[in-house]
Chain A
Amino acid sequence: MTLKVENLRTYFFTRAGVAKAVDGVSFEVGRGEILGLVGESGSGKSITGFSVLGLVDPPGRVAGGRILFHGEDLVGRSQGEMRTLRGKKIAMIFQDPMMTLNPVLSIETQMVETVRAHDRVSKAEARARAVEALGLVGIPSPDERLAAYPHQFSGGMRQRVAIAIALLHRPELIIADEPTTALDVTIQSQILAVIQGLSRDFGMSLIWISHDLGVVAGLAHRIAVMYAGRIVETGETDTVLDSPVHPYTIGLMRSVPANLERGEPLTPIPGMAPPPLGRSAGCPFRLRCFAATAACEIEPEEATADGHRWRCFHPQIARAA
């Protein structure tokens, strides 16, 4: 198992109170496996990714649980130890490549720096590896483009550069946080094709964080749906999407017009997600849920059947069948 996260809790200790951004999340990612982590804004999906990399800034910190990378716990490691892992064994791709790339340095400088941060190689060799990585992600004439600055690339090309940087050390695990959300459909499709090929060719594991069930359906082997800091449903992609049991997953699927036939009415989930500070006890979804009863005032334990797991007292099993 490449990565195993157990009961992860990442809290933000603010003056107004403790915001439980991630509250008891467990999942696994095997070698070459793609896990789709789906949720709306504020569900804790990005903080889960940041926690794995040790990138949570104060007042936030990992307050409990274990993050096992090849069986070794990353929680409590020093920043120095994490730095030898980050970029080398585990890499991250962010939504906005303009935030990842330094606008005043050429791509060459940034890529050579990344190579030499972990490997003692000559500049010429580092440069050769940079050219190779740019070629892998489909940047035309990578040798010449290396001298360019981030602003000289289009949005899609910038994201390719960010992916190339993440690939420089052939990491075993890449955490991708909404990397195609800001891109146009045809460009998104190109990036997805690149990622899919790389994951397959190099046996790279991938955690793909997204709000878009459609993207995740096309890419992921398994899906985990997050709501208010918890994974409310997880399983094989086909199982979760063909027979979702959690009312939130069902609501999410019925809210996306692209998933419906034309003219089929949208059934939105009423209300909105609770703020991280104002979460009441019990199931966090109960105030928006069509199936909620008095039982939901207690937090549901995880139930499981054939690798399909959910947290709900009223799983919609009959409905799904």
Chain B
Amino acid sequence: MTPLVEATSISRRFTRGLDYAERLARFLGADIEERVVHAVDGVSLTINPGEVVGLVGESGCGKSTLGRIMAGILPQSDGVMNWQGKDMSALPRAEAKAARLASQMIFQDPMSSLNPRKTIRDIIGEAPIAHGMVARRDAAEMVTALMQRVGLDPSYLNRYPHQFSGGQRQRIGIARALAVNPRFIICDESVSALDVSIQAQILNLFMELKQELGLTYLFISHDLGVVKHISDRVAIMYLGRIVESAPADAFFAAPNHPYTIALLSEVPTIKQRKRQFNPVKGEIPSPLHPPSGCHFHPRCPHAFDRCRIERPILREIAAGHVSACHLNEMPGKAASPAIPTTAIA
């Protein structure tokens, strides 16, 4: 099967250049460097048609940047993005446009991603009209159908975003993404801002749409509970790198990377009562100055000398299950959950 989207060794750097005063100071001998953030650092991720891939990480790990690159709205600094087996940068214009149109994003905060001065009719109908997918006079009919599809009352056609609740606004964002008949949807923390009862409604809508329209999702979230529920495969990012990736069942049954294990054991669930919180130590390091070797070594309970020097590569530890940890090369040493399989698994 040809993967729908395939990222190979993708990197993305953000550079803050020097201003005039800083350049002058450097000319005069001051020790000033351009500041470079490696938001995404040599990441490969394959997404097959019909698959739901959950991308999990804490703030600043680069998961949103990777999502934007995979959606084709942010160029990568290095690496190759393939769409249905073809290099996106080498596609003829018309095909590249079609590929971009087939990848749509749904954002976290619908209030900042919906234009407050446009009506729902315009927000949802604008893109299909612009791309010649529907005639302007037929747009209202199409928008009505989409609104019904995502569970909005079509009589609200001429309302503005502020007239809706948070959950309804997220439905508008979903209808807008669906309006151009995408195949690939990138959900960037799309349910994080919603109340739990509304979050469950939206998650169920995502799953229904996947069934009906044969969609493929990249589901970006910091919430392992949500990802566990929706994903076929899970990838964990830490400071710009994927540290573990596996089919969801294997992932939650036998997590391998010490960071993954820490994350899983710290997700609060109602099954753990009056527990002793025993958190992983230390802060998430700044992506401006990531630690050497394995990025997780300053917080890792198992770290040894090699972890400080050498970057571990992703190795296959079971079918389809890869993990970047030096412990896996030392028989009998691989990390395993301290508490017998965590409550969330």
A residues sitting closer than 8 Å to B (CB atoms) are 40-41, 154-157, 184-190, 192-193, 196, 211-215, 217-221, 237-238, 241, 251-260, 262, 265-270, 272-273
Residues of A within 8 A of B344 (CB): 258
CA distance A190 to B58 in the complex (A): 14
Check B28 for interface membership: any CB of A closer than 8 A.
Answer: no
Select from chain A the residue with minimum beta-carbon distance to B56: A185
Which of A157, A218, A265 contacts B275, CB < 8 Å? A218
- Give the most central of B226, B266, B284: most A CB within 10 Å: B266
Query: Main SS of the interface on chain A?
Result: helix
Which of B197, B201, B229, B230 contacts A40, CB < 8 Å? B197
In the complex, what's the smallest C-beta–C-beta distance from A209 to chain B, in angstroms?
Answer: 14
Residue pair B268, A257 in contact (C-beta under 8 Å)? no
Residues of A within 8 A of B224 (CB): 185, 258
In the complex, what's the smallest C-beta–C-beta distance from B74 to chain A, in angstroms?
Answer: 23
Interface size on B, residues (CB 8 A): 46
Residue pair B196, A211 in contact (C-beta under 8 Å)? yes
Which of B197, B226, B272 contacts A218, CB < 8 Å? B272
Within 8 A of A (CB), among B200-259: 200-201, 203-204, 222-226, 228-230, 248-249, 252
Residue pair A218, B277 in contact (C-beta under 8 Å)? yes
Residues of A within 8 A of B277 (CB): 189-190, 192-193, 196, 218
Select from chain A the residue with minimum beta-carbon distance to B60: A184
Residue pair A237, B274 in contact (C-beta under 8 Å)? yes
Which of B195, B270, B279, B299 contacts A241, CB < 8 Å? B270
Check B112 for interface membership: any CB of A closer than 8 A.
Answer: no
CA distance A194 to B201 in the complex (A): 34
Residue pair A214, B196 in contact (C-beta under 8 Å)? no
In the complex, what's the smallest C-beta–C-beta distance from B258 to chain A, in angstroms?
Answer: 12
CA distance A185 to B223 in the complex (A): 8
CA distance A260 to B58 in the complex (A): 22
Residue pair A187, B284 in contact (C-beta under 8 Å)? yes
**With A266-B200, A272-B167 as contacts: A40 and B195 at CB distance below 8 Å:** yes
Check B148 for interface membership: any CB of A closer than 8 A.
Answer: no
Residues of B within 8 A of A187 (CB): 58, 283-284
Residue pair A218, B248 in contact (C-beta under 8 Å)? no
Residues of B within 8 A of A155 (CB): 59
**With A211-B195, A266-B204 as contacts: A257 and B225 at CB distance below 8 Å:** yes
Check B273 for interface membership: any CB of A closer than 8 A.
Answer: yes
Check B163 for interface membership: any CB of A closer than 8 A.
Answer: no
Select from chain A the residue with minimum beta-carbon distance to B280: A186
Residue pair B274, A257 in contact (C-beta under 8 Å)? no
Check B15 for interface membership: any CB of A closer than 8 A.
Answer: no
Which of B222, B270, B279 contacts A190, CB < 8 Å? B279
Select from chain B the residue with minimum beta-carbon distance to A154: B283
CA distance A294 to B315 in the complex (A): 61
Which of B204, B249, B276 contacts A268, CB < 8 Å? B204
CA distance A257 to B192 in the complex (A): 12
Residue pair A184, B59 in contact (C-beta under 8 Å)? yes
Residue pair B267, A255 in contact (C-beta under 8 Å)? no
